[in-house]
Structures are given as structure tokens and as C-alpha cells.
Structure 1
Amino acid sequence: MKDLLETVLTRAPKRTSHAQVVDQLGKAIVSGEFPVGSILPGDPELAARFRVSRTVLREAMKTLAAKGMIVPRARIGTRVTPPKEWNLFDADILTWHFACGVNEEFLQHLSEVRFAFETHAAALAARNASDAEIVTMMRLAVAMGDANHSAETLAVADLKFHLSVLDASGNPFLRTVGSLIEAALVGVFRLSSPTDEKGGIDEVARNHIRIVEEIRNRNEAGARQAMEYVIKYGRDRIHEAFAKGEMA
């Protein structure tokens, strides 16, 4: 659940040789070291660069191809594809964007996707959530008000809450957008955190509790509006951070 968030917060290294090659080569593509349309170096050169066997390298290349980032061409080589062909729902690709640096436009796009999916998920939760799911969502919302939160623990608590709403929507397809929500929350966390402001944690908790109250009241329109308010709050924090000259 927290792969992207934990990677950004802890900078945890990849464990296996395969994962390390995928990670390093993916970052090289996202950063533009290997530009769109370029042909990657041959297997011998890449295997030497990453100090792995050709077998490991080829498996890594298959993984990147499955993500839409590269495509092999007979007698030509492996070409880097345009970003529009990448699977931007993929947690690895989102992680690499943050590792290489994201801009305000990228984070704005994430906010727009959240408006599309999460507001509807909240409305569906108001219709479909069980009593047990509502209790869980309220517990998670209240826990966000813990005065002892650090920026990191608040980010994790925030993620748990939003994923619980997706679960409570009853639509399994919505749960698959969890990595996008993770990315959006990572973006807000890296730019600024409510823990940096007096009363910030209390305000965040109140806003999330309101979502649950609307869901508990089976008010679909109210739940949608409450979720929209929370997403706008995060979006505005991003705008303010960039206006101050801060970088993601």
C-alpha cells in the first residue's frame, strides 16, 4: 500500500538485481538521459553499466516494456517511447518522476485526476459503505488529528484514510488508482506539510472527519463536496509552495 510513499520518505534502495536495474534505467529514461525516440545502448554495454548478467538485464527490459516505456525493434534496437505511452498509473513510474523532480503542472494533473476519481468514490461510499467501513474511516480521520504527528506520519495517516474511502466505494476499479493518490500526497508532503503550521493538523483532521460524517449520513452530494474541499486544500498548498519558489 505504501510503496511509493515509503520510497520517497525513506529513500529505501531496491533489493534485487532485477529491481535495481529497472529502477536505475527507469530513472535514466524519465530524467531524459535516454531521450524519447532514442535507441538504448546494446545489452553488453548496459549489462556492464549495471554489473548484472544479460539474463537479469533482459528481464528488466521486459519489465520496462510492460510499463510502456520502451519498445524493441528488430534490427534497430530498443527505442524509448513518448511519455503518453507510459503507464502513469504505475507506482514505479510515479516514483521515478518524483526522484527526478516534478513541476507544478505535473502535480496539477494529479489533482485533476483526484477530482475525477476521489469525489465520485466518496459519493459511492455514502451509498455503499458498511457500518464497519464507516467506523474505520472515522477512526482514521480522527487519528489524523494526533498532535504528535510528524510530517511523515501524517502523510501515511492521510494515505490510509483516502485508500479506505476507495475501498468503501464498493468499486474495485477505483482502488487501482491508489498509486495516483499516493503520488499526489507525496507531492504535497514534499512541498509543505500541515505540521509546519499552527493548527494545521487540527484543520486537516476536521476536513477529513467531515467527509466521513457526510458518508455516514448517506449524503452523496455532501460527501462529494467534502472530498472536493480536501483535494482543493492540497492543491492550493502546492500553488502556494511554488509561488514561494519551493521545488518538489
Structure 2
Amino acid sequence: MSAPFQTTEGRTRAPIERIGATVLNDLVQSIVAGELSSGDVMPPESVLSTQFGVSRTVIRESMKRLQEKGMVTVAQGRGTHVNPSTSWNVLDPLVLSTMIGNDSTLGVLDDLSIVRGALEAEMAASAASAAGPDDHARLRDSLAAMSERIDDSAGFREADVRFHIAVMELSDNTLAENIARVLIAHAVGSNRYTGVDPEHAFEITLGEHERIIEAIETGDVEAARSAMSAHILGSWERRRLPSERRK
């Protein structure tokens, strides 16, 4: 880890990595928030360097990172253009967390729940076709851990995530698991995604998890798929905050 270095006046200055991260965060925020729109030409390096009070090297590196995230296209002699959101790497942690943070209509979280539901439904179906007695016992243990923490909101949510991860691992679908883990990791930290739980929400969740386990234990692929999809989409709909829904 780089240590802060001293200026000639003896003041401590943040390391270059931290300065660059701050600039990158601000640029991603500007693009996601629409301050810089698709097709816009980014200001030249000299302007951004003055605006942020950093060297052109920092700006150049930040542009490289934006391009890696699919947010801009750097064209020699024609400047740097902002890309449409369809080109962004939405599984990039910074891009996804910024999109969620700016999700005033909850449209991003609606889409996230749909994608997560589809992925985890397929993984639950795969688990139903492949899981054995030891795997079933693992799921039962995960459910018991949730039940023991029903009066502890944070503990219950942590145990809930562990249950879902257990199902993912039993599916042996590494690609789907990796994508779902990214979606979960950056959604659960958002107050918008946590929303407001209705009365007896945790009891409802336990019942839905029970149905998922029963389907996996009996090897009922379609029931496992349906139960997981209904749980994820239903849970999101129950706790979804009131908002202006997208048209």
C-alpha cells in the first residue's frame, strides 16, 4: 500500500492511487447521473486537469479506466465520447454501485431483481437435479441459521445471503454464480434495495425458503425453479419503496 508523501511545506498529500480513484468516481458519477450524456465529447485533458486539480497523467489514466468500463470511447484526433448505457460494463463494481445510488425510480433495482431471479431460478433447478443428502443437510442448516436469527435483522439477512450462496454452489454453474454474487453484493448494501419489510416478512421468507428446499430435496426441477423465482421477485415487491415507476 502506498503511504502518503510530504509536500515541501510538510503537508501530507494523498497518494496518486487515491487521487485517481476520486477523479474516476466523480467521472463515473457524472456519466451515470446524466451530467455527461451519451454522445457528449469529454472536456480535454487540460480542462479536466484544472477542474480536478490533478496532473494530466491522472486524467489520462482515469480515461483509460472509463474506457475499460465501457463508458467512453477514446478516438485519436476526435476526442473522448461518452457511450450509451447499453455499452457500460454494468457488472463492474463501481458502475453498478453508482447506478444503484442514482436509481431514483428503482428501475435499475427492478431489472436487477428480474435478472437475479432468472439466474437463481436456474441454479435452484440445477441443484434439484444434482444435490444429494449431504447437500440437503447443508441447506437445512442454512435455514436453521436464519430461523435462529429471526429477531436479529442484520443477522437474518446475512444468513439469508448464505442460504442463496449455498444453492448457487450446489448448482455447479460457475458463471451464473459469479454474476449473481456481484448483483447481491452491490444490492444488499443499498437502502433502496433493502426497502421496508412488511409485517412478518422474515417468517414469509422462511416459508419460501422451505418450499425451495423441499423442491430440491425431492428432485423436482420445475418446482425448484418456480419457488426460487417467486421468492426473489415476491420478496423484492414486498419491500420495494414507493417510487415513480418507469413508463
Same-fold call, TM cutoff 0.5: yes
Going from structure 1 to structure 2, the CA distance change for 1:57 and 1:213 (only over 3 Å counts) comes to farther
User: Could you tell me whether the CA contact under 8 Å between 2:139 and 2:213 is conserved in 1?
Assistant: yes
Q: Does structure 1 residue 168 correspond to structure 2 residue 170?
A: yes
Tell me the equivalent position of 1:56. 58
Going from structure 1 to structure 2, the CA distance change for 1:54 and 1:94 (only over 3 Å counts) comes to same
Tell me the equivalent position of 2:196. 193
Tell me the equivalent position of 2:110. 108
Provide the secondary structure at the position in 1 that maps to 2:150.
Answer: coil
Displacement of 1:179 in angstroms is 1.9
Tell me the equivalent position of 1:126. 128
Provide the secondary structure at the position in 1 that maps to 2:80.
Answer: strand
Coordinate RMSD, CA, aligned: 2.7
Looking at secondary structure, tell me which structure has more helix per residue: 1
Unaligned runs of 5+ in 1: 1-14
- The amino acid of 2:216's aligned partner reads I
CA distance in structure 2 between the aligned counterparts of 1:48 and 1:159, rounded to whole angstroms = 45
Going from structure 1 to structure 2, the CA distance change for 1:114 and 1:190 (only over 3 Å counts) comes to closer
- The amino acid of 1:158's aligned partner reads D
CA distance in structure 1 between the aligned counterparts of 2:170 and 2:72, rounded to whole angstroms = 36
Range with bigger deviation, 119-128 or 141-150? 141-150
Which among 179, 184, 193 is matched to residue 182 of structure 2?
Answer: 179
CA distance in structure 1 between the aligned counterparts of 2:234 and 2:193, rounded to whole angstroms = 15
Tell me the equivalent position of 2:224. 223
Going from structure 1 to structure 2, the CA distance change for 1:213 and 1:50 (only over 3 Å counts) comes to farther
Displacement of 1:132 in angstroms is 4.8
Deviations 1:37-82 (A, max 9, x none): 1111122332333343333332222122111111101122111000
Q: Does structure 1 residue 232 correspond to structure 2 residue 233?
A: yes
CA distance in structure 1 between the aligned counterparts of 2:88 and 2:136, rounded to whole angstroms = 36
Deviations 1:205-229 (A, max 9, x none): 2212332232233221221121022
Range with bigger deviation, 28-37 or 90-99? 90-99
User: Could you tell me whether the CA contact under 8 Å between 1:111 and 1:184 is conserved in 2?
Assistant: no
Displacement of 1:147 in angstroms is 2.7
Going from structure 1 to structure 2, the CA distance change for 1:64 and 1:136 (only over 3 Å counts) comes to farther
Q: Does structure 1 residue 39 correspond to structure 2 residue 58?
A: no
User: Could you tell me whether the CA contact under 8 Å between 1:144 and 1:204 is conserved in 2?
Assistant: no
CA distance in structure 2 between the aligned counterparts of 1:49 and 1:212, rounded to whole angstroms = 55
CA distance in structure 2 between the aligned counterparts of 1:43 and 1:216, rounded to whole angstroms = 59
CA distance in structure 1 between the aligned counterparts of 2:121 and 2:207, rounded to whole angstroms = 17
- The amino acid of 2:47's aligned partner reads E
CA distance in structure 2 between the aligned counterparts of 1:234 and 1:205, rounded to whole angstroms = 11
- The aligned length equals 227
Provide the secondary structure at the position in 2 that maps to 1:231.
Answer: helix
TM-score (norm 1): 0.78
TM-score (norm 2): 0.78
CA distance in structure 1 between the aligned counterparts of 2:61 and 2:132, rounded to whole angstroms = 43
CA distance in structure 2 between the aligned counterparts of 1:48 and 1:63, rounded to whole angstroms = 19
Tell me the equivalent position of 1:202. 203
Displacement of 1:191 in angstroms is 5.7
Larger RCO, structures 1/2 (Cα 8 Å, 6+ apart): 1
Tell me the equivalent position of 1:17. 19
Going from structure 1 to structure 2, the CA distance change for 1:35 and 1:218 (only over 3 Å counts) comes to same
